[in-house]
Amino acid sequence: MKEVILTQDNFNEEIQNAKTPVLVDFWAPWCGPCRNMLPIVEELSEELDGQVKIGKVNVDEEEMLARLFNVRSIPMFVVFENGKPVRSFLGSCPKQTLIDFINGKEIKEEE
């Protein structure tokens, strides 16, 4: 499954109607760490198809959504369960770390 492009118009519907947890990737095309995470996010959208929905929010195009979720730095990942944000993670990371984050394991952010 390909990632869902989330906009102000479809965000609530995509999040609220999801039958699985949703990983939302807040990113921008000019962001180096975001570009580094792109292949990992794309791989996970295939590998976790049916288990996790993956959505992407371009913070330049969707400033209201970025403000709503207090996105101050990118990439920022937020997991939604039952339509509500339950945890967030900031920055780039290895694939396994992102999988652990999606699954609710405690992530120690590197300093």
Domain segments of the chain as ranges: 4-102
Q: Spot the catalytic one: 23, 34, 48, 79.
A: 34
Q: Spot the catalytic one: 22, 24, 31, 98.
A: 31
Q: Calculate mean pLDDT across residues 29-55.
A: 95
* Cross-strand pairs, 22: 53, 80
Confidence of residue 111 (pLDDT cuts 50, 70, 90): very low
Q: Looking at domain 4-102, which of 3.40.30.10, 3.40.50.300, 3.40.190.10, 3.40.50.720 is its CATH number?
A: 3.40.30.10
**pLDDT tens across 76-86, in order?**
999 999 999 99
Q: 31 catalytic, yes or no? A: yes
Q: Calculate mean pLDDT across residues 57-77.
A: 96
Q: 93 catalytic, yes or no? A: no
Q: What per-residue string of b and e applies to 3-20 under the rule 16 or more CB within 10 Å gives b?
A: bbebeeeebeebbeebee
What pTM, to 2 d.p., does this model score?
A: 0.93
